[in-house]
Structure 1
Amino acid sequence: MHPRRPAARRRPVSAAFLAAALVLSVSACSGVTGNARVETVEASGDGILRVGLILDNTGDSSFLNDSQRAAAELAVREINASGGHKGRPVELLPVQADQDTAMQAHSLVSDKADVVIGPTDSSHATEAIDVLSRARTPLISPANTASALSSAESGGYYFRTAAADVAQGPVLAKLAKDGGAATLSVLHEEGSYGKDVSAAVADSARQIGLRVLDNTGFTPGEAGTAARTAAGAAPDAVVVIAREGAQGALAELNNAGLSGARLLLSDGAFARYGSKLGAKALDGAKAVVPGHLPSAGFQARLLEVDPDLRDVSFAAETYDAVTLAALAAARAQDDAGRSIAANLVAVSGGTGADNSSGGAPAPCLSYKACVPGLASGGEVNYDGESGPVAFDSKGDITTATFTVFTYGSDNIPAATGRETAGRGGS
């Protein structure tokens, strides 16, 4: 995710803490070598599995902290109700959300975190990766979507239960074809998000037989030319890939005669537009949003943890990140970060998962359901509240689930379906 927010507040730091941070920084000069996701390691934990959270949301986005905190607490509760790690309770470490991302990471290393969940904002990921990978502590983000993070230099300690932005490309192309389109135009906001996702849409569209008429970039507030170019091409469908410039682009498309069911919106363009756009400008348009709506049962369990919870964004992905970490520790019979990192791919049913029958085992849907399989010496394939995970060799999920929203005549979206994209498309 890439939410906009003011700079995080900093609090005074003790001299002892600064000294510890300096040691980490100096010791990291040689970098992190190897690939922790595939290395064979010996047990080195202290017997207590400690989970840390990095909550980096401030200002208008601060509500996202509550859902992730509640989900992590719920996962730990349910893991402990099923016996914890080797008979001892899993610990959820205190959160220091008033610190910036790097300082939170340093604090969690000092608190002996074995695995850390977070951050939300993709632009903060490298700060956490730099600190935690040097400490041999795996980081699992429930919300990072920037495509470039697939190649982040983490020594194999970075994973994410959220799909990369480009995963929506095949889904958007499929929705266009399912709607009867034979030709497609793409409007994308300039920048890495627009460039990467528009390329994924165009490639996926061609693979399924659609003709891509144009793929035009624009800057926020300056979408008129791009909209008129699309209108001149007379496409059957138009895909809009934008964030800050989405509303302006949609208004310009409406002015150019492209509106309603011909439009498909990327996740960054998804919003409740209402009267901000012309009447029926989005009537019948579709948008995709990563993940699927949490089940009623999962939401009820979250409310038992936090009765005041009003939003469940990234809750399922956070819950699954904690559960996967605990299953990785159970598979290794060790709580050390290196052991967790080396076993996450296997317990997710991902690339290289060892299974004599060929392919991943049948999915199990909770820690309680999965852990007996490990206890008997077998393999497990955890599919959780966010759907299948199946990490690949880069720590990315290989199956991405998207909720499809359809806009009404009031330009307000409602969930109407679900699509899944994998390595081969939708």
Structure 2
Amino acid sequence: MSNLDKKTIILDKKLVIDRENSKSIFSNGYIKLIQGSDGSVIKNLNINGVYDPFKNSPPQSVLIIENSENNIIQKIFFNITSSLGTISSVNCINIKGGYSENNKILDNLIYFNSLSESLYSYGISLSSNYIKNTLISGNTINMRCKNYVAGISSSAENTTIEKNNISLYSNLMYGIYIEGSSAIYTKILNNNIVANGEIFYLIESWMGSNTTISNNVLTGIGKGGFAYAAKFSKYDIITSNIITVKGSDVSNIDFSNNDEIKGHGGIYYAGNSGYATITNNKIISYYKKGGGDYAIKSISSLDGATYTIIDNYLYSNNGLKIGNSALSMDKLGNYLNNGPQSVIISINDFKGFYGKFTKLTAILKDSQGKAISGKIIKFYVNNKFIGQAITNVAGLAAFNYKLWVLVV
């Protein structure tokens, strides 16, 4: 494809579209894949433009897939600006309507800027409940808008969202937004999401179920928000994420035009949710105003719902709530081994003879006196590292040391 301006490209048959050269630019137009275009590849394009969804009617999207399957959208550079206007929305990539399955959105670079105070801006959107098996991987999404931004939004089934870098700057920010009863079996893996503005929801689920959130780095800075907020959602698996949220004060925010999930903290189940498993996460919540924030909180959960929250590092209320005290749960569950916890280490006195082996031992227990197994204990003599051992089921670590130096 060479330079094109204000053109509409509609594909109804399988096709590969690539740029003619590195300077080729597709400007102020849109590309749409419809029924019959299954298996198409669109790659390496430079797409620039100022998009006003009213002047560029009918599309509110730059690249659209509708009722088309097995397509690849790859390594496209989007540099999009939206003009001022009344309430509407603009998508960079939108899979919508019809039975669109097995599409891949890979390694694209999306820059989106908007001056509108009423525009809803989306990087990648899956906006139909007939969409299945979409892979969204390796994309970089950078959005700077005044009103509302969502890096990735999905109402689809069995979507994999992995290895994306999402940076958001706005008054209301969603890194990844999962919505609708069709949004089941979503996998959110190994993403890096940063939001810096006013209100943030790094990941939100509204009616989603069986969502897996694993190995993500989630950072939110603003007046307040959540790393993960959920309502009408169940059977989540949340594991091995690094979460940091920093809020100042949400008390004066008018949420009437924003998300009805209000407040600040790490993970928040806001109602009619439950049956979540949350393990091996590091969750830190800072709140300048103080009070009210928790690492994990639930309210109005489903009748009979339980939660499993084990082996997490939990910190909230500026360090006043740590471990299980950083939980505020409305249902019983398994709430075990959540730290940081104080530990007690006991070291034996030893004596030995020069050139002979002597056994060094240490016993590791938690603050309740329970042995801690499987941890590495490092041994030092005269501030010099001499070796290490792993604690056994009794919390005991032992190391045989040959005395070659004078111990003081």
- TM-score in terms of structure 2 length: 0.21
Looking at secondary structure, tell me which structure has more helix per residue: 1
Looking at secondary structure, tell me which structure has more strand per residue: 2
Q: Which has the higher contact order (CA 8 A, sep 6+)?
A: 1
